[in-house]
Amino acid sequence: QVQLVESGGGSVHPGGSMRLSCAASGTIPSITAMGWYRQSPGKQRELVAAITTGGATTVEDYVKGRFTVSRDNTKNTVYLQMNTLKPEDTDVYYCNLDSGYLDYWGQGTQVTVSS
């Protein structure tokens, strides 16, 4: 089994920073990429940023320059450093593990940016 445990979410004022972490554990035969998605109720889940095991990154334009995705392969952990947060960044953020043929998901962590 694969378990993804997210941490670092919470509430912050506009302009603040947060760092999300996601550690994968259990039986993990393969990891091609890990990343972060966001989803609001009734909406489709959408990519925020992802990183391959080799270090190639994909960062969506709406967070480019503010968010940075990184990983520690020895710990099967992916991070999302979020700077200069805006109210529109508010959402539930989900950790993703791409095994190459099957996706695994965390439970989601709430990020709220408000005055």
Q: What is the mean pLDDT of residues 103-114?
A: 97
Percent of the chain with pLDDT over 70: 100
Residue range 96-110: average pLDDT?
Answer: 96
Tokens 């952990």 — which residue?
77
Taken as a whole, the chain contains a residue count of: 115
pLDDT in tens, 55-88: 999 999 999 999 999 999 899 999 999 999 999 9
Average pLDDT over the chain reads 96
Q: Please check whether residue 33 is in contact with residue 14, taking contact to mean a CB–CB distance below 8 angstroms.
A: no
Beta-bridged to residue 39, according to DSSP, are: 92
Residue 59's pLDDT is what? 98
Residue 72 has a pLDDT of 93
Strand residue runs (E) in 1-106:
2-7, 10-12, 18-26, 33-39, 46-52, 57-59, 67-72, 77-82, 91-98, 103-105
Does the pLDDT of residue 1 top 90, yes or no? no
Give the separation between CA 111 and CA 91, rounded to whole angstroms: 6
Is pLDDT of 89 > 90? yes
Residue percentage of the chain with pLDDT more than 90 = 94
- 9 within 8 A of 16, measured Cβ to Cβ: no
Mean pLDDT within 30-53: 95
Examine the pLDDT at 113 and tell me if it is beyond 90.
Answer: yes
